Structure 1
Amino acid sequence: MATIKDVSELAGVSQATVSRVINGTSRVSHDKKLKVEKAVKELAYKPNSIAQALAFSRTGSVGIMVPELGGPFYSGILHNIEEHLRRFGYHVVVSAGSNTESSQKESIEFLLSRRVDALIVHAQNISDDYLISLEESGTPVVLINRFIPEMRSSCITIDNELGGKIATQYLLKMGHKDIVCITGPLDKSDARGRLQGYRNALFDAGLEYDEVLVSEAAFTEESGASAMKKILRRKCHFTAVFASNDHMALGAFEALAEHGYSVPEQVSLIGFDDILFARYLTPKLTTMNFPIEQMSLEAVQLVIQKLGNKKGEVNFKLLPSLVVRNSVKDLLTTL
């Protein structure tokens, strides 16, 4: 296997000159550059990737921090980001930060200790100030599913407010007026956005927002079931439920069945995210599609831009879309 010394001897230049040509770290005369390139080709010389990484202070890796590794939502994000990054020659280092600020910070510090070239972060628990300071320190950072005004050129989000509005408007279109909303934890921006979309749809339809029909949960099946049972204990009238993610929709579905309510014959149900199991429930779940693959692609495109290897368009705000299945009853055609 040819070495950098072999190249320098064949080209008749110093090893330092060969290094400068290969790494592009400084200007070299056109004549010497041609000699080096000819020698590299003739010897089929392949630069040492580790040495190149050190020369550029690059490791060829991108750190990804998500709250958890399990579940279809986060596993989908990780799979898609890894697949897209690999096309650009990067490998991923993944850390799960749980759902506390301290553990998410620890995960980010771990990734930085591995000398990753950039970070892609899905974190709702870390303060804006910490993430802003991280970017200001010189680390290329991309936030997914979160918006910070000071980092607007580093955030890839979806329009959660629009998604909540579309879901609620669909229920209204199907004749439902008394609609329960099971929200995610309202300290998270995506949960607040989806609730606001629900409120906007009611307002546009001339209906009053009723807190009795709203119950906060934690984006899990167990919390969705608990929130649904809380609504049932309130003895309020409703014909439909908008759950702010599919896991909570499944929990609500189970709680309704436990109390003798059938979906969609007695209560209609709509979720958010369109994760894999939504299409295999009975009835199949009507939901809002979260464009995970597109978000992953946009995040990778933005990281590559920040690393200076590629220019291109980035869509910073993605649009969710309605996926109609069988869990919503049309009251207007059954009256």
Structure 2
Amino acid sequence: MQTNTRSVVRAKASKVRLEDVAERLGISVSTVSRSLAGHPAISSETRSAVQAVAAELGYRMPSQGRSTRKSATKLIGVVVGALHNRFMTLLLTHLHDALQEFDYQITLMIDPMNDSENLLAFRPLIDGYLDGMIFATATLDSPVVAEMQRRGIPLVLVVRSVDDVRVDTVEVDNVHAGALAAEHLYQLGHRRIGLVMGSQNTSTSRDRVKGALQWLEAAGVAPASVPLIYCDYTSEAGYSSAIAMLSDQNRVTGIVAGNDTIALGVLEAAKRQSIAVPQQLSIIGFDDMPLAGSPLVGLTSIRQPVEAMARTAARRLVERIRAGGMGAPVHDVLPIQLVRRDTTGPLSGN
């Protein structure tokens, strides 16, 4: 009889899963896995709690799943899609400085990370060396963000957000930003307003379009009458998109650009078409990068607090690392500011 009882106990123990330990503690499966693997990003308190519950339930971790890594590297991976945007280089500079104050260094990973296969190339770096990651250019359809979270990698999104993934995020209210841009042009007397946005699969483009169209509709401008073009976040894409939009017989008198880099292309297109700015066409961008304030450009722009975003993202990541994955994700929404310069104004004769 005793033999049968022991057999039942062993059978039950062999069926204990990571999910059982996670459910008992109210934490993620990835945190349990990393705790049992001895990952340095997990706090000693969390690790002890996980080990105690695992022992109580009889969970046995497969030997091939154990990590041999014993100490933190103090190295953070920062993922960006490209570096042609001056806003991104400023963000990286502030991230470096902020993380350095916490005694962390960064390694730059230039890859859109919108394909799960890309993860294979970076997996040795991510699993073996990084204490955490910051995604600066996440796309809405990126499977990698969710995969990083499932793997228990301390992670923070900055600038953009991803739907249906519970992860720390630092951004501005892009719906409000789009509405503010549209309102600015409307109050100057513009009724034919076009949108030249960035990539369609980003939260920034989606939310700025949403905010602009909602505000204009409330003001009596039908969303269907608002020309909308999605393009890359480059001046070349802004130029070609604006050429197409300005070729319309009933052309727009105001353009909201997806960022300042796109806006520079729109300005060039207006110049090539001999359209006076702002007398015949008003242009507003986003980011307020340093060049926007140059007397040669004088671009009206929606300012994002790039340094505050970087410092907030760095602080959230360090907090997440120290907490060992415990706690609910935090969504920081930072303020924006309309900076009016020379590229927006009332129509000539208004």
Shorter-chain TM-score above 0.5? yes
- Residues 83 and 283 from structure 1, CA distance in 2 versus in 1: closer, same or farther, beyond 3 angstroms? closer
Contact 2:140 2:202 in 1 (8 A): no
Query: Which stretch of the first structure deviates more once superposed, 79-88 or 225-234?
Result: 225-234
Counterpart of 2:342 in structure 1 is 326
Change (3 A) 1:113 1:153: closer
1:250-265 alignment runs, 5 A limit: 250-265=264-279
Q: What is the aligned partner in structure 2 of residue 172 from structure 1?
A: 186
Aligned to 1:81: 95
TM-score computed with the length of structure 1 as normaliser: 0.76
Report if the CA contact (8 A) 2:160-2:171 is conserved.
yes
Q: Distance in 2 between matches of 1:278 and 1:103?
A: 38
TM-score (norm 2): 0.73
Q: Distance in 1 between matches of 2:117 and 2:94?
A: 24
Q: Deviations over 1:127-161 (max 9, x none)?
A: 45432232122211111123235444412222111
1:263 and 1:283 in contact (8 A); partners too = no
Are 1:275 and 2:284 an aligned pair?
Answer: no
Q: Provide the identity percentage.
A: 26
| Alignment of 1:161 onto 2:170 | no
Give the residue type in structure 1 aligned to 2:107: V
Indicate the larger mover: 267-276 or 117-126: 117-126
- Distance in 2 (alpha carbons) for counterparts of 1:194 and 1:164: 4
The CA distance in 2 between the partners of 1:171 and 1:110, in whole Å, is 50
2:24 is matched with which residue?
none
Name the counterpart of 2:26. none
In structure 1, the partner of 2:319 is 305
Is 111-120 or 127-136 further displaced after alignment?
Answer: 127-136
Q: How does 1:39-188 map to 2 (within 5 A)?
A: 57-98=71-112, 101=115, 105=119, 108-109=122-123, 111-125=125-139, 127-188=141-202
Where does 1:285-296 land on structure 2 (aligned, <5 Å)? 285-296=299-310
Q: Is 1:217–2:231 an aligned residue pair? A: yes
Q: CA deviation at 1:106?
A: 5.5
Question: 1:238 offset after TM fit, Å?
Answer: 2.2
Aligned length: 284
Counterparts of 2:216 and 2:264, CA distance in 1? 24
Where does 1:9-48 land on structure 2 (aligned, <5 Å)?
none
Contact 1:168 1:201 in 2 (8 A): yes
Shift of 1:186: 1.3
Q: 1:81 to 1:106 in 2, by over 3 A?
A: farther
Code of the aligned partner of 2:284: I
What do residues 295-322 of structure 1 show as CA deviations (whole Å, max 9, x unaligned)?
Answer: 11111111111121799x9661223221
Equivalent residue for 1:13? none
The separation in 2 between residues aligned to 1:319 and 1:127, in whole angstroms, is 26
Unaligned 5+ runs, structure 1? 1-23, 27-53
Cα offset for 1:110? 5.5
- In structure 2, the gaps of 5 or more residues are 1-42, 46-67
Larger Rg: 1
1:42 maps to which residue? Answer: none
1:122 Cα offset (Å): 2.1
CA distance in 1, matches of 2:106, 2:304: 23
The 2-side partners of 1:324 and 1:79 are apart by 26
The answer as to 2:209 corresponding to 1:201 is no
Query: d(CA) in 1 for partners of 2:313 and 2:121?
Result: 19
Confirm whether residue 244 of structure 1 aligns to residue 261 of structure 2.
no
CA 1:225–1:141 in structure 2 vs 1: closer, same or farther (change >3 Å)? same
RMSD: 2.9
Question: Bigger shift: 290-299 or 202-211?
Answer: 202-211
Distance 1:99 1:287, change over 3 A: farther
What's 2:25 paired with?
A: none
Using the TM superposition, give the Cα deviation of residue 165 of structure 1 relative to its aligned residue in structure 2, in angstroms. Answer: 0.6
Change (3 A) 1:190 1:25: closer
CA distance in 2, matches of 1:88, 1:67: 25
Q: In the alignment, is the contact (CA less than 8 A) between 1:212 and 1:231 conserved in 2?
A: no
The alpha carbon displacement at 1:191 in A equals: 0.8
Compute the displacement of 1:235 (Å).
1.6
Bigger Cα displacement from structure 2, 263-272 vs 147-156: 147-156
Q: How many angstroms does 1:221 deviate by?
A: 0.5
Sort the Cα spacing of 1:25 and 1:109 in 2 relative to 1 into closer, same or farther, 3 A: closer
Does the Cα contact within 8 Å between 2:85 and 2:233 map onto a contact in 1? no
**Equivalent-residue separation in structure 1 for 2:228 and 2:151 (angstroms):** 42
Q: Which stretch shows the higher mean deviation, 203-212 or 60-69?
A: 203-212
Q: How far, CA to CA, are the matches of 2:332 and 2:101 in structure 1?
A: 21
